[in-house]
Amino acid sequence: MSLKSVSALFSCVFYQISFYETIRIMNQVALYPGSFDPITNGHIDVIERSIRLVDRLVIAIGFSYGRTELFTVDERIEMIRKEMKSIFSCRSGKIKVTSFTGLAVEAAHEHGATIIIRGLRDATDFDYEMRMASMNSVMSDGTQTVFLLASPSVGFIASSLVRQIASMGGNVESFVPEGVAFRLTEKYTENSVN
């Protein structure tokens, strides 16, 4: 067998491994956990890229008993479902929106997800998420964390900053979907009246 034949054979084998690896990933369920209080254009960016990688994506809203939240879990589920239907109409069947109260790895197991999706905006996110991914891999056999870097156009957006701007009457339409911006204005108007 000539060197050229070996090289061609190696290329074909490598391609097939890559192809089958891609197929394996496409048959996976992924969990994208977060507070989503509210969902931002940064979250939408991660969701859009995630549904290209996996067969089904579960967006899971984590509930924390000690945390003060602007929107209830039910309100967040409603907002996210509405945005998913609007933005990803032809692919919305690939997306499930739910909530959870325990650990993300437990929620992943409950929904048959073997991948946890995490978005990274900067080095601070990476340091925290890397430790969390390591802890999750120890607690759950076979669950992998996939990090998606934020697109430059949305990498600076944080839900906490969006809430702060909205609470001061600022325009947040550049940071969240239009329907969410309306709900933020409505929520802060409602809170200022009460």
Per-residue pLDDT tens over the stretch 155-190: 999 999 999 999 999 999 999 999 999 999 999 987
Core vs surface per residue 32-66: b (16+ CB within 10 A) or e: bbbbbbbbbbbbbbbbebbbebbebbbbbbbeeee
Does this model's pTM top 0.75? My answer is: yes
Domain borders along the chain are 26-151
CATH number of 26-151: 3.40.50.620
- The amino acid at 135: M
